[in-house]
Amino acid sequence: MESFEPPHPEQETPRGACAPPSEDTAFAAFRDRVTERVLAELPEHVARLGADVAMIEARRIEGLRSLLRYAVERSPFHARRLEKVQGFDPDRCEIADLGRLPVMRKSDMMASFDDVLTCRGLGRARVEDALARTRSQPVVMESADVRCISIASGGSSGVRGVFVYDDRAFADFVLALSRRTMARILQSGGVPPGGILAALVAAPTAVHATGCAPAVTNTDRAPFRYRMVPATLPQTEIIARLEALQAPALYGYPSVLARLAEARRGGRLNLSPLVVACTSETLTPALRAQIRGGFGVPIVDTFGSSEGLCGMSEPDSDVLVFNSDQCIVELVDDDYRPVAPGARAGSC
């Protein structure tokens, strides 16, 4: 669950206008590189949705080996730990070998953050400073060899984590979150000129992944264009902004969407989206029924972690399909030991 933050003055827009804020040059360049990668790689990502198990497994092994090689070459933290694993060879590692590799907990990562990073010259102090200065747009950081942005987790596990993305990694993150929706759009006739407008009722800060969406899609080339409606506003103001936008897609926190569904049912919200999608909070059966009943359209559930694991359901389904071609999910017990298929995982 993402943390809520009060809106900053520069994040606010005149009532009904819903215009995105101006962008700094560094972020505009970063956003454009992300957009170029998303557009170039979208067809291949959509094709992956129909991949068989063997193709996904091959991609996972290739990705795992590439990741381990990069970690050994660029991260002092991982190099020290992996060289202690008997017989470790990143070019021969299999998914079954993950149980032999040392686990990095979020607390480990944050305690040794500077050594964990593969972009040399940044460091935790600089990343935290960028996050502290983040408002509606991420703050771009430059090191000797990369330009990147950072986002933070909500800290619901008890430890707040911060994560650094270059444009390539962030494009992969965007594709993981959007490719199922894009596949449905392409099947129904394609993206209209200017992209599809989506209203996003969420915390109005790009410190978290959800809040990055309006800034990263603030370009005519983006297939989706998100417009932020701060969830921290009074409901009457949220309704006014949504009615001014009249976006065909509505995204937001289930708890907020449920209240908006009741407002629509009671005649206080004049909005008829074609799709409603939930994010960041658990979509309980009761909330799903409330949102579905109020808006009268299928509900899509989404899951996105700041680390890069993403999941999305089919409309009105309660099953999340994760990006297993990009991330490997390992179920473990309370002592971080892998559990057998079908066995109950731990609560850690």
Residue at token pair 């505009």: 28
Flag whether 123 is in a domain.
yes
Residue showing tokens 């460091």 = 123
**Residue 74 — pLDDT band, cuts 50, 70, 90?**
very high
The stretch 88-115 carries a mean pLDDT of: 92
Domain of 285, CATH number, reads 3.40.50.980
188 with 152, same domain? no
pLDDT for 7 equals 35
pLDDT at 335 over 90: no
Same domain, 93 and 62: yes
Residue where a domain stops, chosen among 123, 144, 168:
168
In a domain, 335, yes or no: no
- Residue 48 placed within a domain: yes
pLDDT value at residue 17: 36
pLDDT (tens digit per residue) in 149-205:
999 987 777 788 999 999 999 999 999 988 888 888 878 777 777 778 999 999 999
Same domain, 111 and 242: no
Q: 147, 168, 189 — which closes off a domain?
A: 168
For residue 192, the model assigns a pLDDT of 77
- Rounded to the nearest integer, the mean pLDDT of the chain is 88
Would you give the end-to-end CA distance of the chain in angstroms?
17
Within a domain: residue 334?
no
- What's the rounded mean pLDDT across residues 304-318? 90
User: Are 288 and 191 in the same domain?
Assistant: yes
Q: What is the pLDDT of residue 10?
A: 37
What is the predicted pLDDT for the residue at 348? 58
Check whether residue 152 and residue 259 sit in a common domain.
Answer: no
pLDDT for 96 equals: 87
What are 256's two structure tokens? 């907020």
What is the per-residue pLDDT for 23?
54
- Of 46-55, 230-239, 253-262, give the lowest mean pLDDT range: 46-55
Q: What is the pLDDT of residue 297?
A: 95
Q: Average pLDDT in the 64-68 region?
A: 96
Q: How many domains does the chain have?
A: 2
The predicted model gives 101-127 an average pLDDT of: 91
Both 159 and 217 in one domain: the answer is: no
Residue 264 has pLDDT above 70, yes or no: yes
Same domain, 308 and 197: yes
Half-sphere exposure of 239 (CA within 13 A, CB side): 15
Q: Considering the domain boundaries, does residue 158 fall inside one?
A: yes
pLDDT score at 134: 94
On whether both 163 and 62 belong to a single domain, the answer is yes
The span from the CA of 103 to the CA of 337, in Å, is 9
Same domain membership, residue 217 and residue 103: no
Quick check: is 304 in a domain? yes
DSSP element (H, E) containing 111:
helix 106-111
Domain boundaries, position 191: 180-322
Nearest-CA neighbor of 261 among 235, 230, 284, 224? 235
| Residue tagged 């995982």 (tokens) | 345
| 158 and 189 co-located in one domain | no
**Lowest mean pLDDT segment, chosen from 78-82, 139-143, 181-185:** 181-185
**What is the percent of the chain with per-residue pLDDT over 90, rounded to a whole number?**
63
- Alpha-carbon distance of 297 to 257, in angstroms, equals 13
Is pLDDT of 235 > 50? Answer: yes
Domain finish residue from 168, 198, 231:
168
Answer whether residue 16 is part of any domain. Answer: no
What pLDDT score does 3 carry?
37
Domain match, 54 and 161 both? yes
Which of residues 307 and 261 earns the better pLDDT score?
A: 261
Residue 35 lies inside a defined structural domain of this protein:
yes
The larger pLDDT score, comparing residue 99 to residue 28, is at 28
Task: State both tokens at 311.
Answer: 């999941």
- Model-level pTM? 0.84
Question: Is residue 146 located within the same domain as residue 107?
Answer: yes
Matching residue, tokens 């409309």: 315
